[in-house]
Amino acid sequence: MFEELQPAPADKIFALIGLYRADPRPEKLDLGVGVYKDRDGNTPVMRAVREAERRLLEAQTTKTYLGLAGDLAFNSAMADLVFGASVDAARVRAAQAPGGSGALRLAGELIKRTRPDVTVWVSDPTWPNHVPMMRGAGLSVRNYPYFDAASGAVHFEAMLEALGQAPRGDAVLLHGCCHNPTGANLDTTQWAKLADLLADRELLPFIDIAYQGFGEGLEADAAGLRAVAARVPEMVVAASCSKNFAVYRDRVGAAMVMAATGAQAETAMGHMLAAARTMYSMPPDHGAAAVRLVLADPELRADWEAELEDMRQRMLRLRIGFAEALRRQSNSDRFDFIARHRGMFSRLGLTEAQVARLRDEHAVYMVGDSRINVAGLPEDGLDRLAKAIVSVLD
C-alpha cells in the first residue's frame, strides 16, 4: 500500500528551520519562524500564564474530559475578548479548538456543512496554511487583491472591486489585525467600507484574529472585527492564543459563530461540535485553562496586558529602528513602509534569489517571499542586517 506514495511536499517554513539548525555559522540570524522572541532570542512563558499554571497544578484534581466544546468559561472569556460589546452575546457561540489552526478548520467545516458549494475568498497573499486548510475542508478557494508591493500598503480599491464581484453567499477570509505575511492592515475607514460591502453583497465574513494585542493594542486590534460584527447578520471567527498568550505548543484557540438569532447560533454550534467529534473529539485543556484563569483574575489580567503591551512596544521600536537603518544603508525611502506596518511580520519585497543570497552569503534566514519576523530582529545589529540586505539588491 504505502509503496505507492510519493514524498509529500516539504513545508517551506519547517524546511527553513532545518537549514538554520544545520548552519554552523555563529552569526546566523533566524527571521523566518513565526514566534515572538525577546532580545535574547528566547520565547518566554508569560508571567501571568506561569502563575496561572502554578495555580492549576495546585488546584486541579482530575484530567477527565470537559466535553466537545472544551472549557466553557474559556469560550465565554474569548468571545468577550474578541467581540466586546459590539453584538448581543446571545447571538454568539464559541468552541475551544486546538490552536488557531484548529479553529480555522472547524469554521471551515461549519461553512461546508452549511453551504457545500461556497467559495472562500482569501487575500493575495495570505498565511500559506489558509488555502490548504480550506481545501482540506472541501471548500473552493479564490484570491482577492490585497497587497500593493510597490507602496507597501493595502490595495484597497482593487480589493473592494474584486469582492464586489463575489457571488452572494460566498465567504471572505479576513485577517482581523496584523496581516500575515505583509504587516499591511486596513484602517478604521476601510474596515467600515468593507463592512458595508459584506453586508450589501450578503457575503459571510470569516475573520482570522491570531495577533490581537500585537498591532495597535488589544481593543484597537479588534475594532475592525467589531465594526463588521455590528453591520452583518452572521459571521465566523477563528481566534488564536498562541502569540498573545505565548502558549504556542499548548494549542489554544476558539472557533466562534455569530448568527442572526440565538437559536440559529445554537444550531450552528451543534454542527461545529459534530465536526469536532469526527476530527479530534475533545480539545486539550491545560493551555485554555491557564488562559481562562488569566482573563478571569483581575491581577493576572493586568499583568498579562502589561507584558503584552511591552512586547508590542518592543516590536514597534524594532520596526522604526530597522526602517531607519535601511534608510541609512540604502540612502532611500524604499523600506520606510516597515515602520508603518503593524504586527509580527513584514514582507521586504525581495526576490527569492536575493533571499537565497542573504542566506548563503550572510547567514540571514527568512521565508522565500521575504517575509520577516520583526520580533527576531537583532536590537544591536540592525545596521549590519540592513547592510547585508542592501548588498543583495539588484
Q: Count other Cβ atoms within 10 Å, centred on residue 227.
A: 20
- Half-sphere exposure of residue 228: CA atoms within 13 angstroms, side-chain side: 32
CB 268 within 8 A of CB 115: no
Helix (H) or strand (E) holding 275: helix 262-279
Specify the 3-state DSSP secondary structure of 68.
coil
C-alpha 38, offset from chain centre: 19
State the catalytic residue, choosing from 52, 71, 127, 222.
Answer: 127
Point out which residues pair with 140 in neighbouring strands.
119
Order the strands of the 119-124 sheet from edge to edge: 92-97, 253-258, 235-240, 204-209, 171-175, 119-124, 140-145
State the catalytic residue, choosing from 48, 210, 222, 246.
Answer: 210
Residue 369 annotated as catalytic: no
CA 382 vs CA 319, 324, 363: distances in Å: 10, 9, 14
**What is d(CA 100, CA 35) in angstroms, rounded to the nearest whole number?**
14
State the catalytic residue, choosing from 243, 275, 276, 288.
Answer: 243
State the catalytic residue, choosing from 30, 71, 170, 208.
Answer: 208
Cell of 145: 487583491
Residue 121 annotated as catalytic: no
Cell of 215: 498591532
State the greatest distance between any 2 C-alpha atoms of the chain, in Å, as a whole number.
62
> Which active-site residues does the annotation give?
127, 208, 210, 243
